[in-house]
Amino acid sequence: MRTKIPLLVCLVFGIMMFGQYFSAHPIAKAVYNNILEWWQIIFAFTLLVGVASFARNSLRNISQRKEPIHRSIALAGLLVMPVLALIGGTKTGSPFLWSFQNMLAPMQSTVFSLLAFFVASASYRGFRARTIPATILLVTALIVLIGRIPLAELISQSFPKITFWVQDYPSMAARRAILIGIGLGSMTTALRVILGIERTYLRGE
Amino acid sequence: MEIGTIIAGILTLAIYSFLYRDNPVYKAAESWLIGLSIGYALVVFWQSTIIDILIVPLFSEWRIILIIPLVLGLMMFSRFSSKTSWLSRIPIALMIGTGAGVAIPAMLYARTLKQMSASIMPLISENGTPNIEALVVLIGLLSTLAYFYFSREHKGVIGNAAKLGTYFLMIFFGATFGYTVMSRMSTFIGRVDFLLTDFLHLIK
Amino acid sequence: MVPVVLLVLVLRESVCAAQIEGQSPGWFNTDTTATLVFSFISLVIVLYAILSVRSGRRFKIREIPGLKAVDEAIGRATEMGAPILYTPGWGGDIQRPTTIASMNILSSVAERTAEYDCRLIYPTHDPVIMAVAQEVVKEGYAKAGYPDRFKPDDIFYISSSQFGYAAAVDGIISRIKPASIFLLGTFEAESLIMAETGNSIGSIQIAGTDSTIQLAFFIVACDYTLIGEELFAASGYLSQNESTLASVKAQDMIKILIALFIIAAMIWATIRPLSTWWKF
Amino acid sequence: MERLRTRWIIFLGLAAVVVISYTMNLPFKTSASPATEKAYKYIETLPESSVVIISFDHEASSLPEIQPIALAMLRHVFRKNLRVIGLSLFAEGTAIGYEMLNRTAGECNRNYGRDYVFLGFKPQYISAILGLGESIRRVFPEDYPGNKTDTLAIMRNIDTYDSVRMVISIADGDRTMQWIEYAGARYNQKVMAGLTAAMITSYDPYLSSGQLFAVVGGLRGAAEYELLYGRRAAGNRGMLAQSGAHAYVIALIIIGNIIFFRSRRRKREG
């Protein structure tokens, strides 16, 4: 019963949503609209559960003295935003938006900008033309790195055109094959999930 | 200078301290970041979905059918005790089944059929000269597909085709690597702009 | 019972919604014919592959270079008496396909490290992945006949923060200098930090993921890289999981059809440039 | 320890190159790439008060790179007096999109509710994209500030993609693919993108097949768009530093490989 019902729900909703793609009938459309709305609502609850389990793990770690300071800072951050939203709402000028713009966004983009440094250090140490494939990769990378800055036009007017040619034909052809591969992979996985053959999503409770 | 910019500047430098070494100041800033981002997401989800398309329509417009997604949503909370956690499988199954159902036609049409027909071009153009681009796309596509063909060993014709496919893949990964370096540098330049203009007022 | 009730309620509410709109029912939308035909062909091929695997037929998958290197990497670690480090990356939760594929490979790596009595270290960013990984490695050690060699403390949770996790793994690599490093699973920007550090201390690195951006870094910094679909095929090859093998076989068959279609349509378009039957 | 010292030297070198070249504010002419030009020309030819959806499909982490692109396109769209429906399919993109929309609308003194609206965010993005094809009001009964969508002047005769000329997805990941694969495939909706540079090669097949109308990519794309639009801003401002950073990385790759080949030759001879 614990496995039969979920598999049946998955089958029923999978077939309905697959079938409605091919129909223009108003009933099919209305069924489709309802399910889209349910999907949105349940998905939001999934994220609420995620937030609740983060809070629970943080509290448990604090009580077990595992990195208590950092966990309580994180918990404080988790509580600050909803409290600010309750007090001042979320419109322009609200403390909620203020703390997003002056704390969350700057830190998030700074963490991401760290990668510029790691790319530079890896470029010096890690990226060796050890094999033919690695050499092709590095040469293409240089064609793009040079071609997409004004330096290219100083070398020759047609340099950017070379970069675009490499990007629009050989690189695009390989990417298209990857896309087709992923497309087929997603399709077979979706079929196995709907037919109840692939059940990994039931694990990990 | 505005208090917000000062705080943003200090937090930016706290994060950059990681470049020297992983240190408590960085760890504190990052924990604060993790907490804020989860708290922010909680507010935005709550308002945009739970309130807007569940509570308001259900309790003020009386769309009774919304009781079903409400109950299914609450069943997600059953995950917190091992005795009842199997109940969460039903809403998860609904989401995964729905996602799989809409994915099949999208993957087959937009990602396979459309890409196949976009690759079809006459091999000889109107003025009789060979169409190099069409040839490169055809060879690149088929040889890369050969690389991702698993039913036969990479020997003989398939082996050579797959090797050629590797080279096309390397061109794609090389171009992606070049553009990714470009992306990371732009992000760093954006932070340098903030530090030099807004925070330190060194330049206009 | 529950799904039937759900279905009836949805249909009932949809029928009244449809009557309000009052459109004439046209069941099939003819614009989607091509997709329907292709869906039907794909469904038949996948079902054929699954049923034939179920009825005992074994599909052979070609040898994957990255996987041959797994034995080589474990052998090297045993000779040097140095540990092996295995990371599933920071990017995924347990339900992501790449994380599941990584678990399948982990279980066969665990069997081999049990046999050679070589230490296997597995740092992760997600408590659920840690729990499942401990289960998988324990089963691997038991299957190899050395349950006592399994050390649960070597499979541990570090931190959910991206760079906190990368920095911690960076520190572990620099300190214990693993002979071989496996980076298989779901990666984001942190891949670069770990692969570069592993490269700089000279360990054999085998990577595999489906994110094209991280693959570009792995290919240059690691010795062997499983590219996208290869990771899924490798996990099927090692686990001999029926449905994965059937899927790989079905996808191969469809790829042949696609290649034949493209070649035929290309020749046709060259002879008759104005033809359009191949346009979707 | 020696490894850490080299790493710090490389870090300091990058910081120096970028900071110095950023302070030297040298304007220079860059030729526009075909994809950027196509995006600009399309918006330039749209008749007044045509409706466009602008979706902020990115996180705060890529803000420094994505903001110049978004601002350049938003200024152009508002200067052309188009009707703009803003929304976001990423939680963090919501606050960013709301702020950028208000800022650029203010610059061209467009007013909220009549010329532009910001509908806010929906977590399940495929359900939202498909839902907009059926009824925008049903997916977004209220806008981000909380007004009833029905009461907004701009939304009067708009309820599905039929009244939307173009969806512009400002993205740092694969969310634009979902616009293409769900809105494009099922509702024939035209889709254009402003992308971080890292995502450009991943979208080339859609650009070549026409499923994606045009792309404005990276800081370089923003700089090109600003020149077409006629107002230099953050994109052009960063171009010299971008060139400096690229030259620095190119040098590191070349030097690294020279050292590698020399040590390999010594090993063979030794």
Residue C5 lies in a domain: no
For B5-32, what is the mean pLDDT? 91
pLDDT at residue C77 in the model:
93
pLDDT value of residue D179: 96
Please give the Cα distance from B156 to D122 (Å, whole number).
52
Cβ-defined contact of B39 to A133 (cutoff 8 Å): no
The reply to whether A74 falls in a domain is no
What is the edge-to-edge ordering of all strands in the sheet holding C155-157?
Answer: C155-157, C120-124, C84-87, C180-184, C204-209, C224-227
* Mean pLDDT value across residues C164-178: 85
Count how many domains chain C has.
Answer: 2
Residue D68 has pLDDT above 70, yes or no: yes
Average pLDDT over residues D41-58: 96
Those of residues 119-178 in C touching chain A at CB distance below 8 A are 127-128, 132, 160, 162-163
Q: For residues C92 and D140, what is the distance between their CA atoms, to the nearest angstrom?
A: 30
For the purposes of burial, counting CB atoms within 10 Å of the CB of C79, is it exposed (0-12), middle (13-18) or buried (19 or more)?
exposed
The number of domains in chain A is 1
Min Cα separation A157/chain B (Å): 20
Is the CB of residue C37 less than 8 Å away from at least one CB of chain D? no
> Does residue C25 register a pLDDT over 60?
no
Q: Which chain D residue is nearest to residue A34, measuring alpha carbons?
A: D131
> Would residue C260 count as lying in a domain?
yes
DSSP code of B130? Answer: B
Residue C22 has pLDDT above 80, yes or no: no
Domain count, chain B: 1
Answer whether residue A183 is part of any domain.
yes
Same domain, C217 and C112: yes
- Measured in angstroms, the CA of D36 and the nearest CA of chain C are apart by 23
Round to whole Å and give the CA distance between A127 and B43. 43
> What is the amino acid identity at position A31?
V
Do both C57 and C79 map to the same domain?
A: no
- pLDDT tens, position by position, D199-229: 999 999 999 999 999 999 999 999 999 999 9
C107 and C148 belong to one structural domain:
yes
Does residue A20 lie in a domain region?
no
Q: What is the dihedral of CA D200, D203, D209, D210, to 10 degrees?
A: -70
| pLDDT, position C16 | 60
Cβ–Cβ contacts within 10 Å for residue C69, how many? Answer: 19
**For B20, which residue in chain C has the nearest alpha carbon?**
C167
Task: Please report, rounded to a whole number, the percentage of residues in chain B having pLDDT higher than 90.
Answer: 68
Pick among B169, B183, B199 to test the A interface (most A CBs inside 10 A): B169
Q: Is D132 exposed, middle or buried (0-12, 13-18, 19+ CB in 10 A)?
A: buried
User: C213 with C93, same domain?
Assistant: yes
Give residues 29 to 88 of B whose Cβ lies within 8 Å of C.
Answer: 30-31, 33-34, 65, 68
Flag whether A162 is in a domain. yes
pLDDT bracket for residue C28 (50, 70, 90): confident
A120-135 confidence digits (pLDDT tens): 988 888 788 888 999 9
Same domain (yes/no): C48, C98:
no
| CA–CA gap between residue D183 and residue D33 (Å, rounded) | 26
Q: C219 vs A134: CB contact, 8 Å cut-off?
A: yes
A138, two tokens:
């590095």
Contact at CB, D61 and A108, closer than 8 angstroms? yes
Q: Do B193 and D208 touch (CB under 8 A)?
A: no
Chain D CB contacts of B170 under 8 Å are none
Written out in words, the top-level CATH class of the domain with range D28-232 is: alpha beta
Q: How far is D220 from chain B (nearest CA, A)?
A: 9
CA D171 distance to own-chain centroid: 5
- Inter-chain CB proximity D31 and A124 less than 8 Å: no
Mean pLDDT score of chain C: 85
Distance CA A26, CA C25 (A): 6
Q: Touching check for C200 and chain D: CB below 8 Å?
A: yes
**What percentage of chain C carries pLDDT values higher than 90?**
35
- What are the tens digits of pLDDT across the range A171-193? 999 999 999 998 998 899 899 88
In terms of residue numbers, what domain contains A160?
127-205
Are C255 and B121 an interchain contact pair (Cβ–Cβ within 8 Å)?
A: no
In this structure, are C266 and C177 located in the same domain? no
pLDDT level of residue B22 (50, 70, 90 thresholds): confident
Q: At what angle do helices B132-147 and A170-194 cross, to 10 degrees?
A: 40
How does pLDDT run across B140-186, given as a tens digit for each residue?
999 999 999 999 888 899 999 999 999 999 999 999 999 999 999 99
pLDDT at D168 over 70: yes
The residue of chain B with its CA nearest to that of C259 is: B142
Residues C86 and C191 reside in one and the same domain = yes
Given CB atoms, is B171 within the 8 Å cutoff of chain C? no
Against chain A, the chains showing at least 3 CB pairs within 8 Å are B, C, D
> A124 — contact with chain B (CB < 8 Å)?
no
Shortest CA gap D61–chain C (Å)? 12
Q: Is B104 inside any structural domain?
A: no
Those chains having 3 or more beta-carbon pairs within 8 angstroms of chain B are A, C, D
Provide ipTM, 2 decimals.
0.91
pLDDT interval class at C81 (50, 70, 90): very high
Whether C50 and C71 map to the same domain: the answer is no
Q: Mean pLDDT check: name the lowest of C11-20, C34-43, D228-237.
A: C11-20
Is the CB of residue A15 less than 8 Å away from at least one CB of chain C? no
What pLDDT, on the 0 to 100 scale, is given for residue C10? 66
Computed over every residue of chain A, the mean pLDDT equals 90
Question: Contacts of residue A178 in chain B, CB cutoff 8 Å?
Answer: 144, 148, 169, 172
Query: Which band of pLDDT confidence, cut at 50, 70 and 90, is reported for residue A204?
Result: very low
Nearest to A58 by CA among B29, C89, C95, C127: C127
- D145 in contact with A, Cβ within 8 Å: yes
Dist. CA C85–CA C118, nearest whole Å: 11
Chain A residues touching residue C210 (CB < 8 angstroms): 182
Test B184 with D198 for CB contact under 8 angstroms: yes
Same domain (yes/no): C141, C220: yes
pLDDT value at position C193?
Answer: 83
Domain ranges for chain D: 28-232
In total, chain A counts a number of residues equal to 205
Closest residue of D to C279, CA-based?
D209
* Three-class SS of chain D: CHHHHHHHHHHHHHHHHHHHHHHCCCCCCCCCCHHHHHHHHHHHHCCCCCEEEEEEECCHHHHHHHHHHHHHHHHHHHHCCCEEEEEECCHHHHHHHHHHHHHHHHHCCCCECCCEEEEEECCCHHHHHHHHHHCHHHHCCECCCCCEHHHCHHHCCCCCHHHCCEEEEEECCCHHHHHHHHHHHHHCCCEEEEECHHHHHHHHHHHHHCCCCCEEEHHHHHHHHHHHHCCCCHHHHHHHHHHHHHHHHHHHHHHHHHHHHHHHHHHHHC
Is B23 a residue whose pLDDT tops 90?
no
pTM: 0.91
**pLDDT above 70: residue C21:** no
The residue range of the domain holding C71 is 65-238
Asked whether residue B122 carries a pLDDT value surpassing 60, the answer given is: yes
Flag whether B10 is in a domain: no
Residues of chain C positioned with their CB less than 8 A from the CB of D198: 213
Residue B166 lies in a domain: yes
Mean pLDDT within C221-249: 87
Could you give the percent of chain C with pLDDT greater than 70?
Answer: 90
B78-99 tens-digit pLDDT:
988 888 888 888 998 999 899 9
Under the banding of pLDDT at 50, 70 and 90, the label for residue B39 is very high
C156 located within any domain: yes
* Domain assignment present for B132: yes
Is the predicted pLDDT of residue D128 greater than 90, yes or no?
A: yes
* Closest B-chain CA to C31: B109
Q: Which residues pair with D166 in a beta bridge?
A: D52
Q: Tell whether the model's pLDDT for residue B204 goes beyond 80.
A: no
